[in-house]
Amino acid sequence: MSVQSGPQWKARSEMKVLNTDVPRVDGPAKVSGRAKYAHDIRLPGMLHARLLLCPHPAADVELLNVEPAKRIAGVVTAAELADRPDRTIFLGQPLAVVAAETPEAAEDGLRAIEVRYREGGWAVTPEQAAAEDAPRISRRQPNALTERETGNQGRTERALEGADATIDETYVVPVQHHCCLETHGMVVDFDGERARVWPSTQAVTGSRGEVAQALGIPADRVEIVCDYMGGGFGSKFSIGPEGLAACQLATELRRPIHLMLTRTDEFLMGGNRSGGRQRMRAGASLDGKLVALDAEVWRHGGIGRGSNPGQPYIYKAETDSMRIGSVRTNTDANRAMRAPGHPQASFAIESAMDELAYAIGMDPLDFRMRNLEDPVYHRQLNRVADEIGWYDHPNRETPGIPTGGTNVGIGFGVSTWGGGGRRVCVVTVRIDPDGSVTSSAGSQDLGTGVRTYVGSIVAEELGLAVSQVTGRVGHSEYGPANASGGSTTTASLAPAVKDAAHNARVAFSERLAEWLECGPGDVVFANGEVRSGTNERMKLTWSEACSILGSDPIVATGEWQSHLQTSGIHGAQAVKVEVDTETGGLRLVKMVCIQDCGLPLNRMALRSQINGGMIEAIGYGLFEERIIDPWLGVALNANFDDYKLPGSTEMPELVAIIDDDDERQQVIGMAEATIIPGQSAIANAVANACGVRIRSLPLTADKVLMGIQEKA
């Protein structure tokens, strides 16, 4: 390859670093506790801040007097939030903030605030909100509003009448939480002129502008640092009311402010994955075609819109129609949560597909393939079916019936996602005379391994070991970068890293050509050496080569290159579950996920992301659900005792397969796709095991057991 040509990814067979297993470079710092997250930042003179949240779903704030808080020992100030409303519209809406020398004093300060609410009419469940006499949640629109209609419902009705088998079922998904182990918030150090800010964020670049606006200073005086962040999952794109409150305090006090949400605050105001209700009327022909689907899709996103990409999602129906809308409630707005809307859509369509397959006595795997046009899914479904043991499984065309003992079932689901990038990132690669190499990007590592590939792409380019290149991320001074959402980071950032690495190599080649007595295009970087491609005796060790730079290091930048990335991915999952038909208890035995992703940058990180996707789906499938008492308007499980996340003993054997049949030589972001179908596959496996179809998540033992009782 000539150095004059633009950057190209090497053939996979030639790669020494990329497409191999590279342990994440910050792993040791994270597991040893040396990694400093926003929560861990401690500065001289720093104050701890807490927010006062409205305990009612909606209320008029008749009185709010922060003065008593200021009299609490250790409290430095208490203030109403700059934009606090007179009337609150969601449970947990923040109203005031207290700053104190200790977190405990801040808590005491909150409790001393004098506040009187007049509870207004409210609705916390979609049923309450949709009732005729329900209080209006938004002035702009009715609580339940159909926003979009697709297809011709009349035609679908007629097609349904002609179908050999039909179902008419409603599938319900609860509101789930992101459960970031690091709650939302930031530390702000503002001296009146300049600010250094440590947010827990998915958007270092975006935070800079938001903070600058909040502090009323130009963005070039704001430095954002996010070396490590403890989970975002789509909930941390904005600095939020908590960030604005921290900036408000920092402006008033000119002391460093540490404002991180408490766990309860996090549950109430830190965002959520919208719930939903989907009525699916679907029909199939005996030869296994999905001949008609009419879907009525309601999103439950609190005061937000909720998300759902619509039906029939990935599948193809001969005739389909849909009405999609939202039901608003007095709870906080949903936010993006990994693969926004897709897991919800998946649960309804994958359940319906299974129900239809059994209704016509067809293997649900075959039924899926007949209604999936893209051959990649056929390949992937066959692979996971093989891996999970489907072809040796007894209940292939008919679900089992409760035996009184343990029943085993298998279920499937598929996923899709974009994962392409866009032009934002500027990356800098620097080669110093002492041999050190840095690769710097103002991106953030949400835990996906970004810091590792920011270095390893450069190591591959320069023929170095991963340990010889320092990847630096999480700092606004490192240049603009995209917000990490929608699995767009890899496809937005990796091409810019590659471009910078390529430019650095070209620049270095030009400097070395004379020493190696060859043309710049003949300089070869490999195995920690630099040599002439035309005379193999002409070579330099890496440190010899760098020493030639004298006092003039190589500094090269790189930008996004469209041709180095693409979009469009596929995945398939299979689950094997044991149902204790006496108790309704479920034990996941095995879960398999295959995922394509274009060119794999780091196989270990990819498998880790795939495992993470399956684990998130296990939580969604088996346990997670926000519960608010509909009569009292009180959050009942805004804590990690009652909001149950899966633990180590809930984990099945997890099999993560990178789909190496995908030969595209471009990078694609893929993590979110792996979250989409797991819970659907679990529900299908339970139905396959014992014939009990649970149409609402999570699949808790009480539901399964009552289903078994009804069958008996």
Partner 1 sequence: MLLPATLEEAVTALDKESTEPANEQKTRILAGGQDLLPELKDHLAEPETVVNVKGVAELGTDVRRSGDGFEIGALATIAALARNADVPAVLSEAAASIASPQVRTLATVAGNLCQRPRCWYYRSEHTVCLKKGGDECFAYAGLNKYNAILGGGPSYIVHPSDLAPALVALDAEVVTDRRTIAIGDFFTLPSESDPTRENVLGPDEIIREVAFTVAPGWRSVYVKFKERESFDFALSAVALALRLDGDEIAEARLVLGGVAPTPWRCRSTEELLRGRKIDDALAHEAGEDALGGAEPLEFNGYKIPLTKALIAKALRKLS
- Would you tell me which residues interact with partner 1 (CB under 8 A)? 55, 111, 582-585, 622-623, 627, 629, 631-632, 634-637, 639, 641-642, 644, 646-650, 700-702, 705-706, 709
Q: Pick between residue 604 and residue 634 the one whose CB is nearest to partner 1.
A: 634
In sequence order, which residues have a C-beta less than 8 Å from that of residue 677 and are 6 or more positions away? 343, 346, 350, 412, 413, 414, 415, 571, 572, 573, 617
At residue 210, the 3 state secondary structure works out as helix
The least distance separating partner 1 from the CB of residue 92, rounded to whole angstroms, comes to: 11
Q: Where in 563-609 does DSSP place strands (E)?
A: 569-580, 586-595
The angle at the Cα of 81, spanning 69 to 251, to the nearest 5 degrees, equals: 90
Written as one letter, the residue type at 585 is G
Euclidean distance between the first and final Cα of the chain, in Å? 70
Q: Pick between residue 401 and residue 526 the one whose CB is nearest to partner 1.
A: 401
The least distance separating partner 1 from the CB of residue 631, rounded to whole angstroms, comes to: 6
Q: Pick between residue 534 and residue 709 the one whose CB is nearest to partner 1.
A: 709
The least distance separating partner 1 from the CB of residue 6, rounded to whole angstroms, comes to: 51
Q: Pick between residue 455 and residue 652 the one whose CB is nearest to partner 1.
A: 652
Q: Pick between residue 589 and residue 634 the one whose CB is nearest to partner 1.
A: 634
At residue 569, the 3 state secondary structure works out as strand
Q: Pick between residue 375 and residue 404 the one whose CB is nearest to partner 1.
A: 404
The least distance separating partner 1 from the CB of residue 527, rounded to whole angstroms, comes to: 47
Q: Pick between residue 663 and residue 702 the one whose CB is nearest to partner 1.
A: 702
Q: Pick between residue 354 and residue 624 the one whose CB is nearest to partner 1.
A: 624
Q: Pick between residue 86 and residue 641 the one whose CB is nearest to partner 1.
A: 641
Is the CB of residue 479 less than 8 Å from the CB of residue 425?
yes
Q: Pick between residue 486 and residue 646 the one whose CB is nearest to partner 1.
A: 646
Establish how many alpha carbons lie within 13 A of residue 580's alpha carbon, considering only the half-sphere containing its beta carbon.
9
Establish how many alpha carbons lie within 13 A of residue 673's alpha carbon, considering only the half-sphere containing its beta carbon.
28
In sequence order, which residues have a C-beta less than 8 Å from that of residue 42 and are 6 or more positions away? 258
Rounded to an integer, what distance in angstroms lies between the CA atom of residue 609 and that of residue 212? Answer: 34
Q: Pick between residue 534 and residue 639 the one whose CB is nearest to partner 1.
A: 639
The least distance separating partner 1 from the CB of residue 352, rounded to whole angstroms, comes to: 26
The least distance separating partner 1 from the CB of residue 48, rounded to whole angstroms, comes to: 15
Alpha helices by DSSP H, listed for 139-203, are 153-161
Rounded to an integer, what distance in angstroms lies between the CA atom of residue 520 and that of residue 228? Answer: 39
Q: Pick between residue 42 and residue 111 the one whose CB is nearest to partner 1.
A: 111
Name the token pair of 321: 């129609």
Alpha helices by DSSP H, listed for 374-433, are 375-388
Q: Cα 324 vs. chain centroid, distance in angstroms?
A: 24
Q: Pick between residue 139 and residue 631 the one whose CB is nearest to partner 1.
A: 631
- Bridge partners of residue 33, in order along the sequence: none
The least distance separating partner 1 from the CB of residue 648, rounded to whole angstroms, comes to: 6
Q: Pick between residue 181 and residue 632 the one whose CB is nearest to partner 1.
A: 632
The least distance separating partner 1 from the CB of residue 98, rounded to whole angstroms, comes to: 15
Is the CB of residue 530 less than 8 Å from the CB of residue 547?
no
Helix (H) or strand (E) holding 615: helix 603-622
The least distance separating partner 1 from the CB of residue 107, rounded to whole angstroms, comes to: 9
Q: Pick between residue 131 and residue 636 the one whose CB is nearest to partner 1.
A: 636
Rounded to an integer, what distance in angstroms lies between the CA atom of residue 218 and that of residue 215? Answer: 9
Rounded to an integer, what distance in angstroms lies between the CA atom of residue 677 and that of residue 687? Answer: 16
The least distance separating partner 1 from the CB of residue 644, rounded to whole angstroms, comes to: 5
Q: Nearest Cα to 613, choosing from 655, 681, 674, 680?
A: 674
The least distance separating partner 1 from the CB of residue 583, rounded to whole angstroms, comes to: 5
The least distance separating partner 1 from the CB of residue 366, rounded to whole angstroms, comes to: 35
Q: Cα 579 vs. chain centroid, distance in angstroms?
A: 30
Name the token pair of 696: 């609402």
The angle at the Cα of 90, spanning 252 to 214, to the nearest 5 degrees, equals: 25
Q: What is the b/e burial string over 431-462, where b = at least 16 CB atoms within 10 angstroms of the residue's CB? A: bebebebbbbbbbbbbbbbbbbbbbbbbbbbb
The least distance separating partner 1 from the CB of residue 706, rounded to whole angstroms, comes to: 5
The least distance separating partner 1 from the CB of residue 156, rounded to whole angstroms, comes to: 36
The least distance separating partner 1 from the CB of residue 110, rounded to whole angstroms, comes to: 11
Q: Nearest Cα to 452, choosing from 504, 409, 497, 496?
A: 497
Q: Where in 59-164 does DSSP place strands (E)?
A: 59-65, 75-80, 87-88, 94-100, 114-119, 144-151
Rounded to an integer, what distance in angstroms lies between the CA atom of residue 169 and that of residue 171? Answer: 7
Q: Nearest Cα to 500, choosing from 2, 6, 1?
A: 6
